[in-house]
Amino acid sequence: MPIFRRRPTVQPLASINLTSLLDVTFVLLLAFMIVAPTLKTGLSIDLPKVEESKPLTPRKSVTVSLRKIDEAENPFWIYLENRRVSFAELRSELEKLYGLHAPNLDILIEADRLVPCEALLKVFAIVKDVGIESVGILTEPEKK
């Protein structure tokens, strides 16, 4: 006659230990919180290098970027706050912004050093025609 042993029945655990999962999640969250502000997103622009100058202290600033591309018919693109626009769209958008923030609006122009001077002057003309008086050009300090 065979001998049968009784084994205890296996019961599923009703609770899950989340401590290790939460620890990993908080470490990742902390790492992203530290690293994220240091990342610069947006356009890759090779700014001109100049001697150090007095920094502009913007109030409400809007960035207009001119980015060099390798096309014969249009050698550059215009971006208003990382959104590609044409000269006509730039004018209308700046007029809207000027209407909202009239006395406290600063325009920061971020032009690639290989963009033709004509394009930079057209942007300046549009900004002045809209009526914005506070304009700055972003540059990088020259390494000595």
The CATH architecture that domain 49-141 belongs to is 2-Layer Sandwich (3.30)
Cβ atoms 81, 121 nearer than 8 A: no
Distance, CA of 102 to chain centre: 24
- Banded pLDDT at 117 (limits 50, 70, 90): confident
Q: Is 26's pLDDT higher than 90?
A: yes
Q: What's the Cα-to-Cα distance from 70 to each of 74, 75, 114, 115, rounded to whole Å?
A: 8, 6, 11, 11
Instruction: Kindly list the domain boundaries of the chain, sorted by start residue.
Output: 49-141
- Which stretch, 3-7, 16-20, 89-93, 110-114, has highest mean pLDDT? 89-93
105: buried, middle or exposed (CB in 10 Å: 19+, 13-18, 0-12)? buried
- Higher pLDDT: 63 or 45? It is 63
pLDDT in tens, 88-114: 999 999 899 888 887 788 888 888 888
